[in-house]
Structure 1
Amino acid sequence: MADPIVEIQQGKLRGRVDSDYRGVTFYSFQGIPYAKPPLGKLRFKAPQPPEAWSGIRDATKEGSECYSMHMLLNTIVGSEDCLFLNVYTPELPSHENHPLKPVMVWIHGGGYTSGSGNSDLYGPHYLIAEDVVVVTINYRLGVLGFLCLDDPKLGVPGNAGLKDQVMALKWVQENIKHFGGDPNNVTIFGESAGASSVHFLVVSPMAKGLFHKAIAQSGCCFNTWAWGNVNGKILCDKLQYSTDDESEMLEFLREVPVDKLYSTHLIPADVMRVDLRRPLGPVIEKISPYEPAFLAEDPMDIILQGKHQKVPFLLGYLSREGMLIDVIVPKDRQLITDFEEAIPFNLGIPKGTPLSLKTAEKIKQFYYSDKQPSLDDKDTLYKLQTDNFFFREIYITAKQHASTSSEPVYFYKFCIDGPLNMFKKLLGIDAPGACHADELSYLFKTSIVGGFDPNSYEGKNVLRMIRWWTNFAKYGDPNPRELDNIIDVYWEPIRDNKMNYMEIDYQLKTGEDPDGDRMRFWDEIYSQSIATSNL
């Protein structure tokens, strides 16, 4: 079969033929630039539209990922010229009125400091079998994507990495029809930092009209780890460049080699500390006459005022998200002994105050009772980190969107503990539960766990996941048109203040208010903090 050729606004692309998990052909176009390379004067700036090319561009290989530490290999990968995306389609249009397919745009995780849309983790071979067009994207990470300066005249207000995502969605609107995708039926979906990105896009005025449904897996914009800070001074101090003039900072930072920028270690070692605000990540921008802001208001205010995009929303969490601590935190720093470290910074409780000490003791008593924390009791630590680092804010997000939007909100708890669980397989974790990111191998072909047998019981879990996710992309409802032997339980949206959810396990179950006792405890902690601050 000849290599496929597609012509988009910027020029012609040569792709290649691939096959999905069933052996059915699909078309792959990789390494497509969706923005101008963010180099030189464009370093740290909002992305610019892509440039045209002459001739036929080779789109048979992935483009460079953003300069960062590889999530799995622990080696530096990528470059600054990284604003590429990949398009995978089951069918190319053969005539002007060819029916167009739903589009699913994947936003990768990695804490805003690592990752890419590459197929080593996000192979499209499962989802594409359900007759959708799949797009995966890169965006700028770390300092390159999230440098934030206070002076609006400098044009570096933060959120460049999120603005990259907006530019990618604009590219989809302008070009996806040439690949057989429907620009009027676009679903954004992501995991971890990709999920919080999805939520940021839902509340950002800059992204309005660029998508029509949203899926957030294990993350939201209210998570403590999803926020950064004004950081130019911090970065320059690390590089031993002393100035308080931000224009001088910017001029200096533009010239620093990328490897030296990365060597500043602005990525903290204690990345699972909820009491610390990270230096790198999304921010609320100052309103500026010089350029539009990605986000200029508190997301909760945007939601409560009903100014967010009201689209069908599917979101959820994994039963033991907190196992991530085994992946990214050295063992000697995993155990919490000072429970003031377990008080989220967004509560605004000064450390060492009577309220802080009282709150810390309440958290310890709720999770450990009178036991002393020990690495022999990892499951208690996993539950605390699950709730405090992920679940609490995801739960609040689901409730708030269900109460402020006329569109349905579907909630899930993923509990599958099997051979396709990605991080558990990689690290040999034998404790029960599903670790953060373990659901990815049920949606994507990954290099870590390989493929699956569609006729096996584990294969049934993959088929369920890809059908739910693609049904949602097609219809705004994950349920199949008719229940069958793969999906035999109806998934109710949240309605009438009932936190309906699907428990995704080998045996499907539905219910209300998952882990509600733990959420009521955190409601009490937050209510106490607010009441005290209003005294």
Structure 2
Amino acid sequence: MNNILVTVQEGILRGRLLTDISGNLFYGFQGIPYAKPPLGKLRFKAPQPPDKWNGIRDATKEGNEPCAKRGDTVKGSEDCLFLNIFTKKITPKIQKPVMVWVHGGGFTNGSSHSQVYGPEYLIAQDIVLVTVNYRLGPFGFLCLEDSSLGITGNAGSKDVVMALKWVQNNIKEFCGDPKNVTVFGESCGGAIAHSLMFSPMAKGLFHKIIAQSGSAINALFYGKRSTAHLVGNVLGINGNNESKLLERLQKMPADELLLANGKVENPQYVIGKTRNYGLVIEKPSADEPAFLTEDPRALLKSENYEKVPLMLGVCNRDGMNIYGFIKRKGNGFTLKDESIVPLGLNIKQGTPLYDRVVKLVKEFYFKDKDPLEQNDQIFKLYTDNHLLVELHNYVVQHMQRNHFPMYFYKFSLDTSLNYAKAAFSLKDPGACHADDIFYLFNSPLYRGNKPLSSMEKLAVQRVTKMWANFAKYGNPTPDKYDDLLSADWKQVTQKKFHYLDIGGTLQVKTDPEKEAMDFWNSIKLISDAKL
């Protein structure tokens, strides 16, 4: 079939037929522009609505990937605001739940490319899948202090909002239900997805959230407000005049900007330092819509945010990636003090309190043994201080109010699909940060054409069914008699911190890592009291 045509508000799209994990056919429409190319004066700005086109647009191949620096080279394009849609049907009278994927990559790398995020696994669950590109690095997350210039930050997050508006306007044509949209993402993609709950721009555009190993609560996912000036220093531009700085940064070629940006110190994988690019709380601007006007961590107390069903969790050895990046860089940074004390504690480095906390943490995790001979304890420490402590406290705050359904998980599946761990040449047991992705998406880049083993296929079917169930019903295990899932994943209640351990079997448990979480709560009390 060469004439697979769908008409959207901007024009006609030609798609293609693909085959899912079970050998069934589905439709793919790729490289669909959901916003105007963010070029020239639109660089760093909020996205604009897409242009219409004449004739039939070929949607049978990927759109441009976002501009990013990889090693010593620059790849991708600023003209990158494209999305992909995968669906079983193209009969508009049928409406299926919609799942919109926001990829990770530390706000500086990644894309929605099907070589990594292939739809063949999830689409078998009879949902409509949308995968989205958004701007990265300086193009997506640079901000200036002078709000009159309209560069208030979070442009990449605003891209996701624009994609959700496009979905609202057009997804019916792909049998998607605009009244049942679940946004899900991993790492910084999880942080962006979760932050939609706190964004005035995103109200009414989504109905459920899944945040995998990342949230708007974790200090790790917030960026500096000063990075534009740091880049300006590299270029020899006086940052005191932000108008001139912006003019220069908007006019220079994208690759030159990224190469200059690469010369600025990147603390992305140092827990105790703020990353160059990430979420920021925006200053009011007359010309620029704001994605985040208040800190989500403060909004929790006021309860002024969108309350929708939420599923979130971590991999059981999430912190392997911190260890892996440090080891890869070969800078001997493992277990130095600034990698031990999480940003969220707001303890100033070099103070007696900071030194005391470092000592207490080392004693708790390593006792009197050599830390560098205890890889698993290092992974546990980096999992806890990197993500779990702040997520745990967020869930506890939720338990006190319990205004909407929340499901928590710990992902411990460990098979040959754990490509993130393999990328660091780690053979220790456990699931690394991002390993859960590969049970949701087919990734030809990593697995080639190798078929799934029977155990891997079972794991994929379980994980995709739970994620799709949540999108469909707001409950990942609605049928207690389901032979495939065989678990009743209980939501968090006011009395119990329930969670699901997703491993070789599915086990419902309570109070994840209780001893460690109690320890970190004692550290927070010391920090708050400045003892």
Q: Give the shorter-chain TM-score range.
A: over 0.9
1:261-309 Cα deviation digits (max 9, x unpaired): 1112267454321211112111001123333311111112212211111
Q: Tell me: CA distance 1:451–1:424, structure 2 relative to 1, closer, same or farther (3 Å).
A: farther
Offset at residue 326 of structure 1 (A): 4.8
2:347 aligned partner, one-letter code: I
Q: Is the 8 A contact 1:402 1:409 kept in 2?
A: no
Q: Deviations over 1:199-252 (max 9, x none)?
A: 111111111110000100111112232011222211100222224111111011
Name the structure 2 match of 1:304: 301
Once the two structures are TM-superposed, the CA of residue 405 in structure 1 deviates from its matched residue by 4.4
Please, which moves more after superposition, 299-308 or 193-202?
Answer: 299-308
For 1:243 and 1:494, locate their aligned partners in 2 and report how far apart those are by CA, in whole Å.
48
Which of these residues, 412, 417, 420, is aligned with residue 420 of structure 1? 417
In structure 1, the partner of 2:58 is 58
Quote the residue 2:198 is aligned against. Answer: 203
The match for 2:182 among 187, 190, 198 is: 187
SS of residue in 1 equivalent to 2:312? strand
Residues 69 and 262, structure 2, Cα contact 8 Å, conserved in 1: no
* Percent identity for Structure 1 against Structure 2: 47
Superposed CA deviations along residues 140-173 of structure 1, whole A, max 9, x for unmatched, are 0000001110011000011101100100000000
Match in the other structure for 1:157: 152
CA 1:490–1:303 in 2, change beyond 3 Å: closer, same or farther?
same
Distance change (3 Å), C-alpha of 1:165 and 1:334: farther
Deviation at 1:105, TM superposition (A): 0.1
The within-5 A match list for 1:393-408 is 393-408=390-405
One-letter identity of the residue aligned with 1:322: G
Paired residue for 2:21?
Answer: 21
Change (3 A) 1:272 1:224: farther
Moved more, 289-298 or 247-256: 289-298
Structure 2: which amino acid aligns with 1:236?
Answer: G
SS at match of 1:17: strand
Paired residue for 1:502, among 500, 503, 506?
Answer: 500
1:321 counterpart SS class: coil
Is residue 2:95 matched to residue 1:100?
A: yes
Q: 2:142 aligns with which of 129, 138, 147?
A: 147
Give SS of 2:139's match. Answer: helix
Deviation at 1:74?
Answer: 8.2
Tell me the residue number matched to 1:212.
207
Q: Which residue of 2 aligns with 1:260?
A: 256
Shift of 1:2: 3.2
The answer as to 2:245 corresponding to 1:242 is no
Unaligned runs of 5+ in 2: none
Picking from 287, 299, 304, the partner of 2:284 is: 287
More displaced stretch, 469-478 vs 415-424: 415-424
- Give 3-state SS (helix, strand or coil) of 1:333's partner: coil
Given that residues 66 and 111 in structure 2 are in contact (C-alpha distance below 8 angstroms), is that contact kept between their aligned partners in structure 1? yes
- Asked whether the 8 Å contact 2:480–2:487 carries over to 1, the reply is no
Work out which of the residue numbers 519, 522, 527 in structure 2 matches 1:521.
519
SS at structure 1 position matched to 2:530: helix
Q: Do the aligned partners of 1:198 and 1:214 also contact (CA within 8 Å) in 2?
A: yes
Q: Quote the Cα distance in structure 2 between the aligned partners of 1:402 and 1:291.
A: 36
Structure 2 residue identity aligned to 1:352 = G
Structure 2 residue 343 is matched with structure 1 residue 348? no
- Of stretches 394-403 and 292-301 in structure 1, the one that deviates more from structure 2 is 394-403
Hey, what does 1:475 align to over in structure 2? 473
Partner of 1:67: 67
Aligned residue in 2 for 1:80 = 78
One-letter amino acid matched to 1:381 = I
Count of matched residue pairs: 527
State which drifts further: 401-410 or 414-423: 401-410
Q: What is the deviation of 1:355? A: 1.0
Distance 1:249 1:105, change over 3 A: same
Q: Secondary structure at the match of 1:477?
A: coil
**Which residue does 1:45 correspond to in 2?**
45
CA distance 1:418–1:400, change in 2 (3 Å): same
CA contact (8 A) 1:422 1:439 kept: no
**1:389 correspondence with 2:386:** yes
Distance in 2 (alpha carbons) for counterparts of 1:334 and 1:177: 53
**Shift in Å, 1:138:** 0.3
| From 82, 87, 90, the counterpart of 2:88 | 90
Partner of 1:171: 166
Which 10-residue stretch deviates more, 242-251 or 340-349? Answer: 340-349
Look up the SS of the partner of 1:411 in the other structure. strand
The answer as to 2:483 corresponding to 1:485 is yes
Name the counterpart of 1:446: 443
Normalising by structure 2, we get a TM-score of 0.95
TM-score normalised by length of structure 1: 0.94
Shift of 1:331: 5.2
Give deviations 1:290-333, integer Å, cap 9, x for gaps.
33311111112212211111111111000111111354333533
Aligned residues: CA RMSD = 1.9
Q: In structure 2, do the counterparts of structure 1 residues 454 and 259 end up closer, same or farther at CA, with 3 Å as the change threshold?
A: closer
Equivalent residues of 1:315, 1:398 under 8 A apart:
no
CA contact (8 A) 1:85 1:138 kept: yes
SS in 1 for 2:299: helix
Deviations 1:116-160 (A, max 9, x none): 011011111111111100000000000000111001100001110
What secondary structure, in the 3-state scheme, does the structure 2 residue paired with 1:260 have?
Answer: helix
**Counterpart residue number, 1:32:** 32
The change in CA–CA distance for 1:378 and 1:455 in structure 2 (over 3 A counts) is: closer
- Alpha-carbon contact 1:340-1:356 (below 8 Å) kept: no
Contact 1:38/1:81 (CA < 8 Å) preserved in 2? yes
1:233 aligned onto 2:229: yes
Counterpart code for 2:248 = F
* 1:432 to 1:74, Cα distance in 2 relative to 1, 3 A: farther
Secondary structure at 1:106 match in 2: strand
Task: For 1:265 and 1:19, locate their aligned partners in 2 and report how far apart those are by CA, in whole Å.
Answer: 40
- Does the CA-based 8 Å contact 2:224-2:276 persist in structure 1? yes
The structure-2 alpha-carbon separation of the partners of 1:99 and 1:143, relative to structure 1 and needing over 3 Å to count, comes to same
Change (3 A) 1:488 1:60: same
Residue identity opposite 1:460 in structure 2: L
Counterpart CA distance in 1 for 2:130 and 2:72 is: 26
2:112 equivalent among 117, 123, 131: 117
Report the alpha carbon displacement of residue 93 of structure 1 after superposing the two structures with TM: 1.0
CA contact (8 A) 2:299 2:305 kept: yes
Measure the CA separation in 2 of the matches of 1:377 and 1:82.
Answer: 43
Q: Tell me, in whole angstroms, the C-alpha distance in 2 between the residues paired with 1:397 and 1:449.
A: 36
Instruction: Provide, for residues 98-128 of structure 1, a one-character-per-residue CA deviation record: whole Å limited to 9, x for no partner.
Output: 1200000000000000000110111111111
- Whether the 8 Å contact between 1:195 and 1:217 is mirrored in structure 2 is yes
Query: 1:93 is paired with a residue of what secondary structure?
Result: coil
Aligned residue among 330, 333, 346 for 1:332:
330
